[in-house]
Structure 1
């Protein structure tokens, strides 16, 4: 029925929208599981832990466990441990994000002049004070690491600025480029995902709603990609990008058509 060993599934805009499960998402995930695929939810939303996401999905009627969720915060922790172990880090991110990063082998500091690395991510309370702290640390020689590049995120009330907006603001003020931005489509996230599902990229199906993160990551890695039109991207966006999904689906509910080989080709 399918040549895939694993499915990497985005969450916001693919499975959930704000606090609700998208129509047909549960059936789509169940179809993948019944087909024998290892399922991994892959999210650039760093505000919930994997356990928090698993609980949230279960509350919405989609049972799972923490091992089935990989977040951009986890990828950021892995990067900090590999490249900045023992460093003094200044967080320019909200409390929920900082909480996810506390397992990293860094010491968080409040003094910008003491920081060796600035870690920026989603921050609902981002303001001039936070901008100034990040700016001063970067001008004093700290490097910049971001949790993920999403410039906006969907909510029940409408789009709000995401991690990428914070990272871009701080980087722009200091006129520096981030040393790394984790989450999708980074190679670090690809490597973590492949380790988690125990499969090669070419044996994976990646399903998501964003061309610049989800589909770009799958395309670069060599996975089969399916764009769903329930979130950020629209059909017209396909005419304005070089990123080409292998399949375009109205929603995750149609993913079984990819498994059966009769979904609409995205080329």
Structure 2
């Protein structure tokens, strides 16, 4: 039997869909804790603070602490603190992301001509003006950073565009790819997750519904991976993917099968 001390657990599509908890999610989290496994709830959604996930999961009878939450916004902020501390930043994103960066000592600027770094993310008010200004900032040589690569994200009934769609639009007009994309499955995200959990890769289980982010993150750091089919991944996706999970579960309610193996 494998010995896990920590688990990186995705949120959307794994524990909840929209505002609704998925069947068995609360029991699965309880089962992890009872097995002595510390969970880290890792979302690529960069628009919400950890406290949002505390309240959101509590509505589905899943009790967590804010310290158990990691997001692509937090990984991005930690990366920028290490590599571009105190610089002028032009943000394409929603209010929380800009507020987070300001709280970490960055100067969030409206003028693209003074920006040292462009941080791009999901922005449901994204328009032609924002695209133009991001293009101008990158034209002047600013570093290009994305919070996460998710082109689509699950909503209550259907998929909707995510941060990756915004990144692709900016990259297309600027003629350059992002210098760094910080959410899952980046190496920076993997290091951050292991650091927050305080475990080695061999002691870590990664559980999620996306092959290209959750399972790829687990593969990158050398952790055991479990794909749940309650989110975006179809049977055809799984058959065609070069990313191979160690376990495939119909839903997170089957996590006991992984722990018992």
Which TM-score band applies after superposition, normalised by the shorter structure? Answer: over 0.9
Does structure 2 retain, via aligned residues, the 8 Å contact 1:2–1:259?
A: yes
Does structure 2 retain, via aligned residues, the 8 Å contact 1:97–1:122?
A: no
Please tell me whether residue 140 in structure 1 is matched to residue 117 in structure 2: no
- Cα drift, residue 100 of structure 1: 3.3
In structure 1, C-alpha distance between the alignment counterparts of 2:5 and 2:235, rounded to whole Å: 28
Please tell me whether residue 68 in structure 1 is matched to residue 68 in structure 2: yes
- Cα drift, residue 123 of structure 1: 0.5
CA RMSD of aligned residues (A): 1.1
- Cα drift, residue 186 of structure 1: 1.1
Please tell me whether residue 29 in structure 1 is matched to residue 2 in structure 2: no
**Where do residues 34-73 of structure 1 align in structure 2 (5 Å cutoff)?**
34-73=34-73
In structure 2, C-alpha distance between the alignment counterparts of 1:29 and 1:148, rounded to whole Å: 25
Q: Which ranges in structure 1 are unaligned for 5 or more consecutive residues?
A: 262-267
Please tell me whether residue 181 in structure 1 is matched to residue 181 in structure 2: yes
**Where do residues 99-114 of structure 1 align in structure 2 (5 Å cutoff)?**
99-114=99-114
Does structure 2 retain, via aligned residues, the 8 Å contact 1:121–1:146?
A: yes
Q: 1:258 aligns to what SS in structure 2?
A: helix
Q: What is the TM-score when the length of structure 2 is the normalising length?
A: 0.97
Q: 1:76 aligns to what SS in structure 2?
A: helix
In structure 1, C-alpha distance between the alignment counterparts of 2:61 and 2:224, rounded to whole Å: 27
Q: What is the TM-score when the length of structure 1 is the normalising length?
A: 0.95
- Regions of 4+ moved over 3 Å: none
In structure 1, C-alpha distance between the alignment counterparts of 2:18 and 2:85, rounded to whole Å: 35
Residue 83 of structure 2: aligned partner: 83
In structure 1, C-alpha distance between the alignment counterparts of 2:99 and 2:250, rounded to whole Å: 35
Residue 220 of structure 1: aligned partner: 220
